[in-house]
Amino acid sequence: MTPFWDAITGRTTPKKADLDSLFLVPSAAITLETSAGLTPTGTGSVCFRAADGAAYQQTQDDVIALIRDDADKPDVSVQRDDFGFTWLVVTRATSDVEGLCTDLHAVNTSLEEQGFAGGLLCTVVPFADTTGRKVGLVYLYKQGTFYGFAPTGAKTRDNLLELQVRDELKAELPMEEDLQRWLALWGAPGL
Protein backbone atom coordinates (compact mmCIF):
# COMPACT_ATOMS: atom_id res chain seq x y z
CA MET A 1 0.00 0.00 0.00
CA THR A 2 1.10 3.51 -0.62
CA PRO A 3 1.27 6.30 1.94
CA PHE A 4 -1.31 8.17 -0.16
CA TRP A 5 -3.80 5.29 0.01
CA ASP A 6 -3.16 4.89 3.75
CA ALA A 7 -3.92 8.60 4.25
CA ILE A 8 -7.19 8.35 2.31
CA THR A 9 -8.35 5.27 4.20
CA GLY A 10 -7.27 6.67 7.57
CA ARG A 11 -4.66 4.02 8.21
CA THR A 12 -1.45 4.86 9.90
CA THR A 13 1.81 2.99 9.72
CA PRO A 14 2.69 1.65 13.14
CA LYS A 15 5.95 2.87 14.61
CA LYS A 16 8.64 0.21 14.33
CA ALA A 17 9.90 -1.12 17.62
CA ASP A 18 13.35 0.10 18.57
CA LEU A 19 14.45 -2.60 20.96
CA ASP A 20 17.72 -0.79 21.55
CA SER A 21 15.66 1.66 23.62
CA LEU A 22 15.79 -0.99 26.34
CA PHE A 23 19.48 -0.16 26.73
CA LEU A 24 18.47 3.35 27.87
CA VAL A 25 16.72 1.94 30.96
CA PRO A 26 19.89 1.73 33.15
CA SER A 27 20.44 5.50 32.89
CA ALA A 28 16.71 6.08 33.45
CA ALA A 29 17.04 3.93 36.58
CA ILE A 30 19.57 6.40 37.99
CA THR A 31 17.16 9.26 37.30
CA LEU A 32 14.28 7.43 39.01
CA GLU A 33 16.43 6.70 42.04
CA THR A 34 17.64 10.28 42.46
CA SER A 35 14.31 11.97 41.68
CA ALA A 36 11.77 9.61 43.25
CA GLY A 37 13.71 7.13 45.40
CA LEU A 38 12.69 4.24 43.11
CA THR A 39 15.23 1.48 42.57
CA PRO A 40 15.12 -1.57 40.28
CA THR A 41 13.73 -4.73 41.86
CA GLY A 42 16.01 -7.01 39.84
CA THR A 43 13.08 -8.56 37.96
CA GLY A 44 12.03 -7.89 34.41
CA SER A 45 9.64 -9.59 32.03
CA VAL A 46 8.53 -9.82 28.44
CA CYS A 47 4.82 -10.31 27.76
CA PHE A 48 3.68 -11.98 24.56
CA ARG A 49 0.89 -13.98 23.05
CA ALA A 50 2.33 -17.46 22.72
CA ALA A 51 1.90 -19.21 19.40
CA ASP A 52 1.02 -22.86 19.00
CA GLY A 53 3.46 -25.28 17.48
CA ALA A 54 6.86 -26.83 17.78
CA ALA A 55 8.71 -23.89 16.17
CA TYR A 56 7.46 -21.47 18.82
CA GLN A 57 8.21 -23.89 21.67
CA GLN A 58 11.73 -24.45 20.33
CA THR A 59 12.30 -20.68 20.12
CA GLN A 60 11.11 -20.20 23.71
CA ASP A 61 13.32 -23.06 24.92
CA ASP A 62 16.32 -21.60 23.05
CA VAL A 63 15.76 -18.16 24.61
CA ILE A 64 15.58 -19.63 28.10
CA ALA A 65 18.75 -21.66 27.50
CA LEU A 66 20.55 -18.58 26.15
CA ILE A 67 19.78 -16.57 29.29
CA ARG A 68 20.57 -19.43 31.66
CA ASP A 69 23.95 -19.89 29.98
CA ASP A 70 25.00 -16.39 31.10
CA ALA A 71 27.96 -16.43 33.48
CA ASP A 72 25.84 -14.70 36.17
CA LYS A 73 23.14 -17.40 35.91
CA PRO A 74 19.98 -15.27 36.16
CA ASP A 75 16.77 -17.00 37.19
CA VAL A 76 14.34 -17.48 34.28
CA SER A 77 10.74 -18.63 34.47
CA VAL A 78 7.66 -18.69 32.26
CA GLN A 79 4.26 -17.71 33.63
CA ARG A 80 0.79 -17.43 32.12
CA ASP A 81 -1.59 -14.78 33.40
CA ASP A 82 -5.38 -14.82 33.81
CA PHE A 83 -5.77 -13.22 30.37
CA GLY A 84 -3.89 -15.99 28.53
CA PHE A 85 -0.66 -14.04 27.96
CA THR A 86 2.76 -15.55 28.56
CA TRP A 87 5.40 -13.74 30.63
CA LEU A 88 9.04 -14.73 30.39
CA VAL A 89 10.46 -13.49 33.70
CA VAL A 90 14.16 -12.85 34.35
CA THR A 91 15.54 -12.16 37.83
CA ARG A 92 19.04 -10.81 38.51
CA ALA A 93 20.76 -8.94 41.32
CA THR A 94 19.00 -5.60 41.85
CA SER A 95 22.19 -3.75 40.96
CA ASP A 96 22.54 -5.43 37.53
CA VAL A 97 20.08 -3.37 35.48
CA GLU A 98 22.37 -3.53 32.45
CA GLY A 99 22.41 -7.33 32.50
CA LEU A 100 18.65 -7.46 33.01
CA CYS A 101 18.02 -5.16 30.04
CA THR A 102 20.40 -7.22 27.91
CA ASP A 103 18.42 -10.36 28.81
CA LEU A 104 15.08 -8.69 28.01
CA HIS A 105 16.48 -7.40 24.72
CA ALA A 106 17.63 -10.93 23.85
CA VAL A 107 14.16 -12.35 24.53
CA ASN A 108 12.45 -9.74 22.34
CA THR A 109 15.03 -10.01 19.56
CA SER A 110 14.93 -13.81 19.48
CA LEU A 111 11.15 -13.91 19.22
CA GLU A 112 11.23 -11.18 16.58
CA GLU A 113 13.92 -12.90 14.48
CA GLN A 114 12.04 -16.21 14.52
CA GLY A 115 8.89 -14.57 13.13
CA PHE A 116 6.92 -14.13 16.35
CA ALA A 117 7.05 -10.32 16.49
CA GLY A 118 3.27 -10.11 16.03
CA GLY A 119 2.80 -11.72 19.43
CA LEU A 120 5.13 -9.38 21.36
CA LEU A 121 3.19 -7.00 23.59
CA CYS A 122 5.44 -5.33 26.15
CA THR A 123 8.50 -5.49 28.36
CA VAL A 124 8.32 -4.47 32.02
CA VAL A 125 11.12 -3.42 34.37
CA PRO A 126 9.72 -2.91 37.92
CA PHE A 127 11.00 -0.36 40.42
CA ALA A 128 10.13 0.12 44.11
CA ASP A 129 10.90 2.49 46.95
CA THR A 130 11.38 1.93 50.68
CA THR A 131 7.71 2.72 51.42
CA GLY A 132 6.46 -0.09 49.18
CA ARG A 133 5.43 2.02 46.18
CA LYS A 134 5.99 0.14 42.93
CA VAL A 135 6.06 1.25 39.34
CA GLY A 136 6.76 -0.74 36.23
CA LEU A 137 8.58 0.93 33.38
CA VAL A 138 6.63 -0.55 30.47
CA TYR A 139 7.99 -0.70 26.92
CA LEU A 140 5.18 -1.06 24.37
CA TYR A 141 6.62 -3.19 21.59
CA LYS A 142 4.23 -2.07 18.85
CA GLN A 143 4.61 1.63 19.71
CA GLY A 144 8.32 1.77 20.52
CA THR A 145 7.54 3.87 23.61
CA PHE A 146 7.60 3.63 27.41
CA TYR A 147 5.14 4.54 30.16
CA GLY A 148 4.91 3.99 33.89
CA PHE A 149 2.34 1.68 35.48
CA ALA A 150 2.01 2.02 39.26
CA PRO A 151 -0.48 -0.43 40.79
CA THR A 152 -1.60 0.29 44.34
CA GLY A 153 -4.06 -2.57 44.78
CA ALA A 154 -5.96 -5.28 42.93
CA LYS A 155 -7.51 -2.84 40.46
CA THR A 156 -6.20 0.60 41.51
CA ARG A 157 -3.22 2.58 40.33
CA ASP A 158 -1.26 5.69 41.28
CA ASN A 159 -1.80 7.98 38.28
CA LEU A 160 0.20 10.78 39.88
CA LEU A 161 3.28 8.56 40.19
CA GLU A 162 2.82 7.40 36.59
CA LEU A 163 2.77 11.01 35.38
CA GLN A 164 5.79 11.82 37.54
CA VAL A 165 7.72 8.95 35.92
CA ARG A 166 6.77 10.23 32.46
CA ASP A 167 7.87 13.75 33.31
CA GLU A 168 11.14 12.63 34.90
CA LEU A 169 12.13 10.36 32.01
CA LYS A 170 10.86 12.16 28.90
CA ALA A 171 14.33 13.55 28.17
CA GLU A 172 15.89 10.07 28.40
CA LEU A 173 13.34 7.65 26.95
CA PRO A 174 10.74 7.77 24.17
CA MET A 175 7.70 8.18 26.45
CA GLU A 176 4.19 7.33 25.29
CA GLU A 177 2.16 10.54 25.12
CA ASP A 178 -1.23 8.92 24.40
CA LEU A 179 -2.57 8.11 27.88
CA GLN A 180 -5.08 5.66 26.39
CA ARG A 181 -2.16 3.38 25.60
CA TRP A 182 -1.07 3.30 29.25
CA LEU A 183 -2.54 -0.13 29.81
CA ALA A 184 -3.16 -1.54 33.26
CA LEU A 185 -1.02 -4.65 33.63
CA TRP A 186 -2.81 -6.21 36.60
CA GLY A 187 -0.84 -9.13 37.97
CA ALA A 188 2.31 -8.41 35.96
CA PRO A 189 5.32 -10.24 37.44
CA GLY A 190 7.23 -8.07 39.88
CA LEU A 191 4.39 -5.62 40.39
Could you read off the pLDDT tens digit of each residue along the chain, which spans 191 residues?
555 556 566 655 555 668 899 999 999 999 999 999 999 999 999 999 887 778 778 888 888 888 888 777 789 999 998 888 999 999 998 789 999 999 999 999 988 988 888 899 999 999 999 999 999 999 999 999 999 999 999 899 999 999 999 999 999 999 999 999 999 999 999 99
Map out the domains of the chain as residue ranges: 18-181
* pLDDT value of residue 11: 59
d(CA 16, CA 143) in angstroms, rounded, equals: 7
Q: Tens digit of pLDDT for each residue in 129-152?
A: 999 999 999 999 999 999 999 999
Q: Tens digit of pLDDT for each residue in 56-86?
A: 788 888 888 888 887 777 899 999 988 889 9
Query: What pTM, to 2 d.p., does this model score?
Result: 0.87
d(CA 101, CA 116) in angstroms, rounded, equals: 20
CA distances from residue 110 to 114, 115, 145, 157 in whole angstroms, order as listed: 6, 9, 20, 32
- Which class in CATH covers the domain with range 18-181? alpha beta
CB 114 within 8 A of CB 66: no
